[in-house]
Amino acid sequence: MRRVADWIPRKVTYIQPARADRGLAEKLDILQEMIERLMRTTDQQKHSGEAGRKADDENALMSSAKDILSRGTSLYSASVAGGSVRGQLAAQHRVIEWADTLALLRFKLDISDRSDSPSGQSSPVTGVRVASATTGETSYPEVTENIEEQNDSDSGDEVDLLVANAALGVAVEAFDREDWTNSEGSLKELLSDLQNLSRRQRAKFDLYELQYKLAICAYHTRNTTVAVETFLGLLNEVPATDAHWLHACDVGQCLSLLYVQMTSYENARISCENAMRTRKRLLDKQHRACYDSLALLAHIHELMGQDYRAKKCTAMIPVAGRYFLSREAPDEIVMARSVDGAVPLHEATRNQAGDVISVLLRIEAQQQLRAKSQIGGFTSVDALCYATYVSAGTDSTERGDRGIVRVLLKHGADPHSKNEIPNRGAVMASTHQVERESYSI
């Protein structure tokens, strides 16, 4: 009771000056929790016969608290929608239209769990209070329960369920073929369809899985700031299954890559390490996903100037798995620029562990094909990039990639020219020497 009363002066701090920020959202969450507890206490007193002047005071306090909650929620929602208070980050978060819908669906499921609970206690479901602070709607348990009961009474109509299942199938199919735009659109339509279902029908759909797919789509279709927000939103949810935890690891790794792009290397390191540790617990330590995390972590340490830690992470990757280091290569680095489009380097080398001879043979084959198509010779910079990352799959240890670059430069490969590839025999002779010598970067 005292905590609710203490919140009343917040009206002067937030409501009257129309001040809305993250502090207001936190206070609204606390206030809603206090209101719910007070409502349960009042109901218990009514059942036990306790009444009197104290009940009148509680009703007056409850009315005032609900008024502040309603006005504060509306103020916060309006400020976030306009992006005028919390700045660019909040405005970008609002761009993700489906965030509020997911929060509302989780809120409804949580209310349903309360109505099914004999004790009437609320279960800790993530996203309940976030929904109340961001949707601009003030919902109370008794109202929502009645709505849910009415929906369940009409559970005989399966048309909406069939429509939702069809939308899910279309979304998953588009997601599997990496059609991110259509997949995102279908998933948002699915969320809209889920609102028409009863709570029992909605429970058949995995909201965490849907949010994961939407976050991955945003990673490919939205800007960096929005993608980071969607990933953080998913990581704030509690995974319920091992599959959910693996999804969280994938998201953590993607988030780490985004932090690298933003030059936020410390956040990138933390996100990558968390993903790696969880993968090691769920998967075998020799799983390719664990090596993938190690390779990224080595790259992050190198960017942070921590060469010793970078080499230590690299040494933990077996020689046969060094091609995972190719994940460091940006998509702009390609094996060849053909009329069929550029092939990202990590796609070209993921399932290969070819030595330098096979690298040069492939380059020569590309030269012949490109000569026939009258596009021109294979550039030296292409050769450098390709040999650099494929050499990571040989037995030349972690020095191999830089060693090959040095050899190619030594024998006349100029990254700024279109000269032919250097003599293969000379390159091979020097390459074997690279494996035996020590050098510093």
Placement of tokens 């849910």 in the chain: 148
Task: Please identify every stretch of the chain with a pLDDT value under 50, giving residue numbers as ranges.
Answer: 4, 7-19, 80-95, 111-112, 114-156, 324, 326-361, 363, 369-370, 372-425, 427-441
What pTM, to 2 d.p., does this model score?
A: 0.47
- What is the pLDDT, as a whole number, of residue 52? 56
Can you say whether the dihedral through the CA atoms of 135, 140, 143, 145 is positive or negative?
positive
Predicted local distance difference test score (pLDDT) of residue 56: 66
Pairing of strands 341-344, 334-338: antiparallel
**138: buried, middle or exposed (CB in 10 Å: 19+, 13-18, 0-12)?**
middle
pLDDT of the residue at 125: 31
Work out the burial of residue 386: count CB atoms within 10 Å of its CB; fewer than 13 is exposed, 13-18 middle, 19 or more buried.
buried
> Which is nearest to 321 in space by CA: 299, 297, 345, 289?
289
Q: What is the pLDDT of residue 301?
A: 93
Per-residue pLDDT of 243-261, as tens digits, reads 999 999 999 999 999 999 8
**Would you call 239 exposed, middle or buried from its count of C-beta atoms within 10 A (0-12, 13-18, 19+)?**
middle
Residue range 82-128, pLDDT digits in tens: 343 334 444 344 445 666 677 777 665 554 454 444 443 433 333 32
Decide: 76 and 20 in contact? Cβ < 8 Å. yes
Domain boundaries, the chain: 1-86, 87-233, 253-317, 329-436
336's enclosing H/E stretch is strand 334-338
User: Would you tell me how many other CB atoms lie within 10 Å of the CB of residue 393?
Assistant: 25
